[in-house]
Amino acid sequence: MSIRRAKGRGHLFDSILDTVGDTPVVRINRIGPDHVTVYVKFEAFNPAGSVKDRLALNIIEAAERDGRLKPGQAVVEATSGNTGIGLAMVCAAKGYPLVITMADSFSIERRKLMRFLGARVVLTPRAQKGLGMYHKAKELAEANGWFLASQFETPDNADIHETTTAAEILGDFDGQRLDYFVTGYGTGGTVTGVGRVLRRERPDTKIILSEPANAQIVGSGRANDRNEAHQPTASHPDFQPHPIQGWTPDFIPWVLQEAIDEKLYDELIPVAGPDGIHWSRELARKEGIFTGVSGGSTFAVTMGLAETAPEGSVLLCMLPDTGERYLSTPLFEGVTEDMDDDEMALSLSTPGFQL
């Protein structure tokens, strides 16, 4: 085998924002069943490390185009982390002040990343769940005249997945089989935007949606209370706290409601948090693919489907982010800072450079 060579992208980018999207689809080689082919769309290749870079960019640029966002106006949004990190990147590049509201139950490294990118982070009590941070963002926007990004309601969310994420999938699988597309939901933008396109262009592709097994709010069949602006007014009665950060807030987002109403997915499959942690670790240790609990959870559902899928099936799994923003979560339990016994034995096996 000859040494790998690189030629560069053949393009000089004017801004970090021009690198959002066009993420790679990667084949799974060591842990998938032999009778099918499994791919992952690895959204950690976005510049701020997650799929939410797409919606963050489009929310800001769409608001600039139609005048909802004025030069120098502050932006505020409620987020579990990835949207906030994406918005912090976009606002830093464009010169907008950013305030994030976030429940104090989400990982510490997410707060630090947003603050490192110049955002201010206002924490809300975890007992108030996602709705608490959501209402705090609304209060701050109304009190200060700030632009509320509204990721859970704005059409700019699903639209960017229709024009970029879905278009990339069509291009990558042009002339190829694609039998299953598997995703979870946070806001619902991915399944709604991609679902619109696959229903039209690849109607034979089965779209699979997933949510936490202990927080099956879509699976309950019960609607969510909303006001005339489509904003949630109460937590969903079937919500329970779950370990899949970035997935399934305590309400059904308006962006997701389109996918429910228009039947933009074929099956809803719940997944347990520990299964997501297991498959995130398997992807890292056996494929070298470093994703978080949300990605591991989507992959867990994909592996379940793969076991019983017909011979020759092709499955595509969305991996929303990188594992680096889960360092302080149960995903990294058992990963020690100091040497374990085996590493200590290796150190002592030769005489030099021992601690």
Catalytic machinery residues: 52, 294
SS3 (DSSP) at 113: helix
> Which amino acid appears at position 248 of this protein?
T
- Token duo for residue 264: 């933009």
**The sheet that has 120-124: what strands, in order across it?**
120-124, 98-103, 75-78, 147-148
Beta strands in the chain (DSSP E): 25-27, 37-42, 75-78, 98-103, 120-124, 147-148, 180-183, 206-212, 267-271, 314-319
User: What is the number of residues in the chain?
Assistant: 355
- Token duo for residue 132: 């608490």
Q: What is the dihedral of CA 293, 106, 128, 92, to 10 degrees?
A: -110
Q: How many helices (H) and strands (E) does the chain have?
A: 11, 10
SS3 (DSSP) at 277: helix
CA neighbor of 188 nearest in space, from 239, 132, 259, 246: 259
- The answer to whether 301 and 286 are in contact (CB under 8 A) is no
